[in-house]
C-alpha cells in the first residue's frame, strides 16, 4: 500500500512510459552542468518529471543522446 502523496521518487517514470537503464558509456562528469553526479539513467520512451523538491536528489540534468537505434534522454541525478 502506498499513498501517492507520501514522497514517491519524482524522477522515476510511471510504469509503462518507456524503458530506463543505466548506460555503460556515461561520462565522468555531467555534460550539462559539469559537476559530478550521483547516478545516471537513459530513458527511451515518454516520461513525466515532477519538479517538486525531494529528499533523494538536489536536481536532475537532462541530456539528449543519439547514435543508437532510438532517441534517448539521459538523466544525471545530483
Ligand atoms: Zn548536471
Mean pLDDT by 10 residues, the chain (78 residues): 50 57 88 95 87 85 85 92
C-alpha cell at 31: 555534460
Whether the CB-CB separation of 61 and 33 falls below 8 Å is answered with yes
pLDDT number for residue 4: 47
The CA 50 to ligand 1 mean position distance, Å, reads 17
C-alpha cell at 5: 502523496
pLDDT number for residue 8: 54
The CA 35 to ligand 1 mean position distance, Å, reads 6
The CA 38 to ligand 1 mean position distance, Å, reads 10
The CA 21 to ligand 1 mean position distance, Å, reads 18
The CA 26 to ligand 1 mean position distance, Å, reads 12
Q: How far apart are CA 13 and CA 17, in angstroms?
A: 6
Where are the strands (E) in 1-78, listed by range?
20-21, 39-43, 60-65, 72-77
Distances (CA, A) of 27 to 5, 63, 66: 34, 12, 14
Q: How far apart are CA 24 and CA 48, in angstroms?
A: 24
Amino acid at each position: 500500500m502506498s499513498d501517492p502523496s507520501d514522497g514517491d521518487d519524482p524522477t522515476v517514470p510511471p510504469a509503462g512510459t518507456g524503458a530506463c537503464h543505466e548506460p555503460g558509456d556515461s561520462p565522468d562528469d555531467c555534460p550539462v552542468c559539469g559537476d559530478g553526479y550521483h547516478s545516471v539513467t537513459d530513458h527511451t520512451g515518454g516520461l513525466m518529471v515532477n519538479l517538486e523538491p525531494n529528499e533523494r536528489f538536489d536536481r536532475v540534468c537532462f541530456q539528449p543522446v543519439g547514435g543508437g537505434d532510438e532517441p534517448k534522454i539521459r538523466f544525471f541525478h545530483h
